[in-house]
């Protein structure tokens, strides 16, 4: 651990700069949600219209990937998308760095996605029915399924970390070489790439969850088809 990034300690627990930045993003989003939902109106103003547009867009994206699950997955996928987008954009602020440029943050997000895949899968069919797909079509496939789950979780964490870190590094190098003659293009690139990386992470999470749910739906369909025949 980089000792320079440690801000303070709580006993043996070291609180680093990415952790504090993450807390600040979480607090800011919580306050924003609390303020935005206090006075909702049937005839919305510009701010409420913008928020409804964001929520509606996320809901439609989920429904396009996994029909009829938009309402169920919206809280998790929506929060994931918005949090990562804001966390990535923090790096635009002078003197600040994106918490997603730290591997510990992206690893925590990837673990949440890993747990959510199994959570939604188990909710759909129950523990026994869900776990049974790991031994399909043969029990010999179990270790391969386990390796696949672990590898894609690691890849999810490393992909976001690597992209955000490389983006910030590239921006710093450009500014060092060209001075402040090209701040606007660099800033625009950073903003676009930050939003793109948030979208990719959220879509991958949605695809993984969709795979867990649809594998159970396919299995149930096969069972029903066999019973009817």
pLDDT tens per residue, range 156-184 = 999 999 988 887 777 777 666 665 555 66
Q: Give the pLDDT confidence of 6-41 residue by residue, as tens digits.
A: 777 777 777 878 888 899 999 999 998 888 888 778
What pLDDT score does 4 carry?
Answer: 52
Beta strands in the chain (DSSP E): 6-10, 13-16
CB 36 within 8 A of CB 47: yes
d(CA 71, CA 108): 24
What pLDDT score does 222 carry?
Answer: 46
Which residue, among 183, 35, 162, has the nearest Cα to 102 in the 3D structure? 162
Higher pLDDT, 112 or 221: 112
Q: What global pTM score does this model have?
A: 0.82
Q: Give the pLDDT confidence of 67-100 residue by residue, as tens digits.
A: 888 888 999 999 999 999 999 988 777 777 888 9
The continuous run of DSSP H or E covering 33 comes out as helix 17-36
Which residue, among 166, 149, 159, 146, has the nearest Cα to 203 in the 3D structure? 159
What radius of gyration do the chain's Cα atoms show?
21
Question: In the chain, what are the domain boundaries?
Answer: 3-224
The stretch 183-211 carries a mean pLDDT of 84
Q: Compute the residue count for the chain.
A: 229
């Amino acid at each position: 651990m980089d000792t320079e990034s440690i801000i303070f300690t709580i006993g043996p627990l070291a609180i680093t700069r990415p952790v504090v930045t993450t807390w600040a993003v979480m607090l800011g989003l919580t306050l924003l949600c609390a303020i935005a939902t206090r006075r909702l109106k049937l005839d919305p103003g510009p701010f409420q219209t913008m928020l409804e547009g964001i929520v509606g867009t996320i809901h439609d994206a989920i429904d396009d990937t996994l029909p009829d699950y938009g309402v169920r997955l919206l809280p998790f996928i929506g929060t994931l998308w918005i949090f990562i987008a804001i966390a990535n954009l923090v790096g635009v602020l002078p003197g600040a760095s994106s918490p997603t440029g730290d591997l510990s943050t992206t690893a925590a997000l990837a673990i949440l996605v890993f747990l959510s895949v199994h959570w939604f899968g188990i909710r759909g069919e129950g523990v026994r029915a869900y776990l049974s797909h790991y031994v399909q079509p043969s029990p010999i496939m179990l270790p391969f399924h386990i390796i696949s789950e672990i590898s894609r979780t690691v890849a999810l964490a490393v992909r976001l970390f690597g992209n955000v870190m490389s983006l910030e590094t590239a921006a710093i190098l450009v500014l060092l070489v060209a001075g402040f003659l090209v701040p606007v293009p660099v800033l625009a690139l950073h903003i676009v790439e930050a939003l793109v990386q948030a979208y990719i992470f959220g879509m991958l999470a949605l695809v993984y969850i969709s795979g867990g749910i649809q594998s159970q739906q396919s299995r149930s369909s096969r069972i029903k088809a066999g019973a009817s025949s």
